[in-house]
């Protein structure tokens, strides 16, 4: 093993190498960041040592290759024929936007913000468009709309108009930003019907500013007040489009008991969700028409996000929105992992079909405790921007308030402008045409919003944990995957996928079950878990799984949870999904399971759970049953795997490496080891592979970091060589491969359509941009 380092760094490098070995995606030593942190005693000094590691230390190529090269020849599937080129001039203007800037304006900004500095900053950074606040609770211009009161520091000025003029003078487009979610007491006195109300009739007020009440989206507030502001802005200014902050709700549905809402179906039911979606679309179309009253290419868009838990139906939004605004600004307490932005990007990619999506990166301090006017760490902000690009969205950088001219804290500014300017040099490669992934993960949006898990584990976080479990497993397995929305399961969309994964997609309609049957009849493979298809689209429980026939399963009883020691899967016979499990008769099951009837020749059978404390009782009273712990099937070229346990979520809760191995083995088995792109090397990375206009782009996000699962990134821990293999369509030749972060070209081999090249180093992010002819 040779290393590029001096003696002083040898100890740190040794520890780093250990770290890499622990986090490797090597099939024999799979561990992940969380598991590692939870192993306790050993982790602390190592993590501290890693933190102390200089950022410029990289392992030599030879040493990585020794570890990573397992000699296995990937079964690469040829990429589909390339798409016909598109002239960007024929696209709607917003589809050519690559950089969005926003200094979110406060009431105080008219007194303190330096408009010239503001416009110069965003212009020099290369922003194509900036957000300028109109708002709804106070006006940034002399407004005649009743209840839109002038800000305290406006003093008759047309602050909005001055900002619009400064942006336009520099060639930047303008989004007029409104915010309809709150309003003041005088509006409430005049229009008590505008307020959201609790079940006892009391008005719902803002938690932080009790003088502001929460407005109800079903009332004339949205029909009259918001359009009045839009029309006034359109009459006075040259804006390019309109946006509403604060509506519709993100990640949950409203719970309002006003006069109108009390006549609607109960909140958090499928029936309510349908009416909610209808209302969102009604208002969206109405506002869009108002935007177009002045300019035909203007449009309206709303604040969205919440990844797979988006409030409005994502399929309908994808068909309606021309700008998906992903308000997913940083990690949260509920979503603490580093991949929060790319998870959102995969959702946008699933439903927008190439239309514009931008993810908002907060340059300010996000988290459960917030500082809206202080910068977050540069590493964390940059990783969010990296994820934005990698997952196919446009960059969007956001700070709040311009005290002292353009912020008391200006550390965020160079971070954003440097990143924007770097990206502008590579726009052609950074804008995807389509994903080339061959695994589809079904987004069960109704399950995410309405189903809260089995009685044994009832929680609004239940599905969130499921999502992170499958997501982490796919990252650790370096899988190229897409999300597929539950309302888009038509065969035409699914045929590109070798396998569909259904991580506890509890709610599926008869029609959706039929679409999945068609996919399998056409040769597609599937992996599903737990209560998948046990409920219909109204969350009505079926007596039998909707997909029982497909998987060859039959429900034998109600969900069984864990009281102490969870159940095991006893190994009954050898099978590829059990590769690597030696020297044990059983492996862990999951926290909860649906008991299913015996099947012929099972691979794993359930050893029911028992007491974990006191240890005297920690043994199985029943050590062998014929209840299957997995049901496997082969039909033609399809392979099907069903786990009766909530295996993905249990993996997220525990980091149990056997569960990860079982998931990886099973995904490989159902895919018949076929992959569309292989990236071999050390480290915990997220991978994206796109067809682009010039060729292809393989994005590697390096999450090998002590802060991958919690908190912010503060340093990068560079990875050594990553070897990429893909099989190009017949006749496609490679002109060059460039690394966009390193800004250098690398050699490649192309033999019989098989392209192979090595990215020598990945600091936090690297993109291999492949130019073809």
Q: Where do contacts with Zn ion occur on this chain (CB under 5 A)?
A: 216, 218, 256, 258, 261
Q: Are 475 and 686 in contact (CB under 8 A)?
A: yes
- Structure tokens belonging to residue 509: 């309609």
d(CA 540, CA 542): 6
Torsions phi, psi of 68, nearest 5? -80, -35
Beta strands at 568-571 and 604-607: parallel, antiparallel or unpaired: antiparallel
Give Cβ neighbours of residue 456 (< 8 Å, ≥ 6 apart): 559, 560, 561, 562, 592
Nearer to Zn ion, 257 or 346 (CB): 257
Nearer to Zn ion, 255 or 771 (CB): 255
Question: Tokens 């060059």 identify what position?
Answer: 736
Measured from the CB of residue 275, what is the shortest distance to Zn ion in angstroms? 11
Nearer to Zn ion, 216 or 508 (CB): 216
Nearer to Zn ion, 280 or 383 (CB): 280
Nearer to Zn ion, 256 or 352 (CB): 256
Measured from the CB of residue 260, what is the shortest distance to Zn ion in angstroms? 5
d(CA 355, CA 319): 10
Measured from the CB of residue 256, what is the shortest distance to Zn ion in angstroms? 3
Measured from the CB of residue 225, what is the shortest distance to Zn ion in angstroms? 15
Nearer to Zn ion, 213 or 242 (CB): 213
Q: SS3 letters for 299-355?
A: CEEEEECCHHHCCCCHHHHHHHCCEEEECCCCCCCCCCCCCHHHHHHHHHHHHHCCC
What torsion, rounded to 10 degrees, do the Cα atoms 601, 604, 609, 612 define? 150
Nearer to Zn ion, 256 or 474 (CB): 256
DSSP for 531-557?
Answer: TTTSB-TTSPBPSS-TTHHHHT--B-S
Question: Tokens 């007040």 identify what position?
Answer: 225
Task: Using DSSP, state whether 583 is helix, strand or coil.
Answer: coil
Measured from the CB of residue 257, what is the shortest distance to Zn ion in angstroms? 7
Task: Using DSSP, state whether 272 is helix, strand or coil.
Answer: helix
Can you say whether the dihedral through the CA atoms of 536, 540, 546, 551 is positive or negative? positive
d(CA 332, CA 592): 26
C-alpha Rg value of the chain to the nearest Å: 27
Number of Cβ atoms within 10 Å of the Cβ of 8: 9
Measured from the CB of residue 304, what is the shortest distance to Zn ion in angstroms? 21
Nearer to Zn ion, 253 or 352 (CB): 253
Question: Tokens 């940083």 identify what position?
Answer: 330
Measured from the CB of residue 219, what is the shortest distance to Zn ion in angstroms? 6
- Structure tokens belonging to residue 298: 């203007």
Nearer to Zn ion, 278 or 714 (CB): 278
Helix (H) or strand (E) holding 661: helix 657-670
Q: What is the DSSP letter of 577?
A: G
Q: Please count the residues of the chain.
A: 773
Nearer to Zn ion, 261 or 341 (CB): 261
d(CA 4, CA 2): 7
Helix (H) or strand (E) holding 412: helix 411-424
- Structure tokens belonging to residue 88: 């960007």
Torsions phi, psi of 99, nearest 5? -140, 125
Measured from the CB of residue 267, what is the shortest distance to Zn ion in angstroms? 10
Measured from the CB of residue 217, what is the shortest distance to Zn ion in angstroms? 7
Nearer to Zn ion, 127 or 258 (CB): 258
Nearer to Zn ion, 254 or 609 (CB): 254
Question: Tokens 């479990």 identify what position?
Answer: 469
d(CA 508, CA 268): 17
d(CA 99, CA 174): 12
Measured from the CB of residue 703, what is the shortest distance to Zn ion in angstroms? 42
Q: Are 690 and 434 in contact (CB under 8 A)?
A: yes
d(CA 125, CA 128): 9
Measured from the CB of residue 37, what is the shortest distance to Zn ion in angstroms? 44
Nearer to Zn ion, 263 or 296 (CB): 263
Nearer to Zn ion, 83 or 199 (CB): 199
């Amino acid at each position: 093993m040779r290393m590029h380092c001096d003696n002083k760094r040898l100890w740190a490098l040794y520890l780093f190498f250990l770290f890499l070995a622990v986090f490797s995606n090597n099939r024999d030593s799979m561990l992940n960041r969380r598991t590692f942190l939870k192993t306790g005693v050993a982790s602390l000094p190592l993590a501290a040592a890693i933190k102390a590691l200089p950022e410029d230390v990289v392992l030599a190529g030879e040493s990585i290759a020794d570890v990573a090269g397992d000699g296995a020849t990937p079964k690469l599937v040829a990429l589909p024929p390339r798409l016909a080129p598109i002239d960007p001039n024929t696209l709607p203007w917003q589809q050519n936007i690559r950089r969005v800037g926003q200094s979110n304006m406060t009431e105080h900004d008219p007194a303190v913000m330096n408009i010239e500095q503001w416009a110069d900053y965003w212009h020099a950074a290369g922003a194509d468009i900036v957000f300028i606040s109109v708002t709804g609770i106070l006006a940034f211009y002399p407004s005649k709309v009743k209840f839109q009161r002038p800000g305290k520091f406006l003093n008759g000025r047309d602050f909005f108009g001055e900002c619009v003029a400064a942006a336009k003078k520099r060639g930047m487009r303008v989004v007029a930003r409104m915010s309809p979610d709150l309003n003041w007491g005088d509006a409430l006195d005049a229009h008590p019907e505008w307020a959201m109300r609790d079940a006892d009739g009391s008005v719902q007020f803002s938690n932080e500013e009790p003088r502001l009440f929460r407005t109800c989206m079903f009332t004339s507030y949205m029909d009259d007040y918001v359009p009045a502001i839009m029309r006034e802005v359109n009459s006075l200014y040259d804006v390019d489009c309109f946006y509403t902050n604060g509506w519709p709700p993100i990640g949950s549905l409203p719970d309002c008991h006003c006069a109108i809402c009390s006549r609607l179906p109960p909140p958090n039911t499928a029936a309510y969700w349908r009416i909610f979606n209808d209302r969102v679309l009604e208002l969206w179309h109405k506002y869009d028409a108002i935007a177009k009253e002045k300019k035909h290419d203007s449009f309206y868009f709303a604040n969205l996000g919440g990844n797979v838990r988006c409030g409005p139906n994502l399929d309908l939004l994808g068909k309606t929105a021309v700008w998906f605004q992903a308000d997913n600004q940083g990690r949260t307490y509920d979503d603490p992992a580093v991949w929060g932005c790319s998870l959102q990007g995969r959702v946008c990619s699933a439903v927008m079909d190439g239309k514009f999506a931008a993810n908002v990166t907060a340059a300010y301090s996000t988290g459960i405790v917030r500082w809206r006017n202080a910068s977050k760490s540069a590493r964390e902000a940059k990783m969010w921007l990296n994820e934005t690009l990698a997952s196919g969205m446009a960059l969007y950088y956001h700070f709040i308030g311009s005290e002292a001219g353009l912020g008391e804290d200006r550390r965020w500014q160079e971070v954003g402008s440097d990143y924007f300017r770097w990206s502008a040099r590579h726009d052609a490669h950074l804008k995807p045409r389509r994903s080339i992934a061959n695994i589809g993960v079904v987004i069960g949006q109704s399950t995410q919003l309405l189903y809260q898990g089995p009685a044994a584990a009832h929680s609004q976080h239940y599905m969130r944990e499921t999502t992170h479990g499958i997501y982490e497993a796919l990252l650790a397995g370096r899988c190229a995957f897409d999300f597929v929305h539950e309302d888009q399961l038509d065969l035409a969309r699914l045929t590109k996928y070798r396998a569909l994964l259904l991580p506890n997609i509890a709610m599926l309609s008869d029609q959706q079950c039929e679409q999945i049957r068609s996919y399998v009849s056409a040769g597609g493979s599937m992996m599903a878990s737990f209560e998948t298809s046990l409920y219909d689209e109204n969350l009505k429980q079926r007596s039998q799984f909707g997909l029982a026939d497909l998987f060859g399963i039959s429900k034998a009883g109600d969900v069984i949870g864990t009281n102490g020691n969870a159940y095991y899967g006893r190994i009954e016979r050898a099978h590829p999904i059990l590769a690597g499990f030696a020297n044990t008769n059983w492996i862990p099951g999951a926290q909860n399971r649906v008991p299913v009837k015996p099947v012929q020749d099972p691979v794993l059978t359930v050893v029911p759970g028992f007491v974990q404390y006191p240890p005297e009782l920690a043994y199985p009273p029943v050590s062998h049953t014929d209840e299957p712990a997995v049901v496997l099937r082969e039909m033609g070229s399809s392979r099907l795997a069903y786990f009766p346990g909530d295996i993905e979520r249990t993996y997220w809760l525990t980091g149990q490496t056997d569960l990860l191995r079982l998931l990886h083995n099973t995904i490989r088995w159902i895919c018949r080891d076929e992959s569309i792109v292989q990236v071999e090397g050390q480290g915990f990375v997220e991978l994206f592979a796109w067809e682009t206009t010039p060729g292809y782009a393989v994005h590697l996000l390096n999450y090998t970091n002590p802060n991958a699962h919690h908190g912010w990134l503060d340093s990068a821990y560079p990875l050594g060589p990553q070897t990429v293999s893909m099989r190009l369509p017949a006749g496609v030749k490679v002109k060059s491969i460039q690394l966009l972060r390193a800004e250098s070209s690398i050699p490649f081999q192309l033999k019989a359509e098989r392209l192979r090249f090595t990215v020598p180093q990945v600091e936090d992010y690297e993109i291999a941009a492949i130019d073809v002819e």
